[in-house]
């Protein structure tokens, strides 16, 4: 067993940093050293940023977004198209769509996808609340922005079935060639979908 090289406080910091995604034991050690070296301009601000975030972060009770206010920045934004709900699997996906600045509506975060193999059913997701929101008179369209995986598509079908007896239109993201993508590197499913959904030039 390797000897502890520093006091228990530093070892504990390294262990916790190693649990962040993208950092392993070695890079956590480097990160800890980096923090200690940049005490004033990184370690102190990071500590207080974490403290601030801990004090203020809440889950938006409307859509499930993570923010420092409830309702969140997106739900409270008066310029959003209130007739469109964009259904995403996770807050990470919501943030990705927001970074693209592409989505005019508000969101609904499911908190995962249906996954019978992992024992994740409708009650484990934020679906009951979605149905309730979809029945609000102002909502005209659900955009299913789910991953193009088996679980994502299973969830999309399940939600579509739930909406069958309503007036709400259910749409999904287009399949096709990624912008900047090279055809040679794309799978056949994507290429077939791109041909089927070809658009006038």
Q: Which two tokens stand for residue 170?
A: 């259910």
Q: Which two tokens stand for residue 157?
A: 């079908």
**Closest distance of CB 63 from a second copy, Å:** 12
The DSSP code for 185 is G
Q: Does 45 bind a second copy (CB under 8 A)?
A: yes
Q: Does 10 bind a second copy (CB under 8 A)?
A: yes
Backbone φ and ψ of 145, nearest 5°: -100, 65
- Identify which range of 16-24, 142-150, 165-173, 182-190 contacts a second copy by CB under 8 A: 16-24
Q: Does 150 bind a second copy (CB under 8 A)?
A: no
**Closest distance of CB 201 from a second copy, Å:** 29
Q: SS3 of 67, please? A: strand
| Sign of the alpha-carbon dihedral angle for 94, 99, 105, 106 | positive
Q: Does 61 bind a second copy (CB under 8 A)?
A: no
Q: Does 128 bind a second copy (CB under 8 A)?
A: no
Q: Does 53 bind a second copy (CB under 8 A)?
A: yes
Binding-site member from 56, 61, 135, 157 for a second copy (CB under 8 A): 56
Cα separations (Å) of 200 from 22, 189, 197? 42, 21, 10
- Identify which range of 46-54, 132-140, 158-166, 168-176 contacts a second copy by CB under 8 A: 46-54
- Identify which range of 94-102, 124-132, 155-163, 177-185 contacts a second copy by CB under 8 A: 94-102
Mutual angle of helices 127-134 and 150-162, in 10-degree steps: 40
Sole residue written with tokens 């070892």: 11
- Identify which range of 13-21, 131-139, 163-171, 184-192 contacts a second copy by CB under 8 A: 13-21
**Closest distance of CB 59 from a second copy, Å:** 9
Question: Cβ(190)–Cβ(175) under 8 Å?
Answer: yes
Distance CA 87, CA 92 (A): 12
Question: Cβ(145)–Cβ(93) under 8 Å?
Answer: yes
List interacting residues with a second copy (CB under 8 A): 2-10, 12-13, 16-17, 19-23, 27, 29-36, 38-39, 42-47, 49-54, 56-57, 65-69, 72-74, 90-92, 94-95, 98-101
């Amino acid at each position: 067993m390797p000897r502890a090289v520093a006091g228990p406080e530093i070892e504990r910091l390294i262990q916790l940093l190693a649990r962040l995604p993208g950092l392993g034991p070695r890079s956590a050690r480097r990160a800890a050293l980096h923090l200690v070296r940049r005490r004033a301009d990184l370690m102190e601000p990071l500590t207080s940023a974490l403290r601030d975030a801990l004090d203020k972060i809440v889950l938006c009770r409307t859509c499930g977004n993570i923010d420092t206010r409830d309702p969140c920045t997106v739900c409270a934004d008066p310029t959003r198209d209130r007739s469109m709900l964009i259904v995403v699997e996770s807050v990470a996906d919501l943030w990705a769509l927001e970074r693209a600045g592409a989505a005019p509506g508000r969101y609904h975060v499911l908190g995962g996808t249906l996954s019978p193999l992992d024992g994740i059913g409708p009650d484990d997701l934020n679906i009951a609340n979605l149905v309730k929101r979809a029945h609000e008179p102002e909502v005209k369209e659900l955009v299913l922005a789910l991953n193009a995986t088996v679980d994502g598509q299973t969830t999309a079908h399940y939600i579509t079935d739930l909406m069958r007896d309503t007036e709400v239109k259910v749409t999904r993201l287009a399949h096709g060639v990624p912008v900047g993508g090279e055809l040679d590197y794309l799978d056949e499913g994507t290429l077939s979908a791109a041909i089927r959904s070809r658009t006038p030039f």
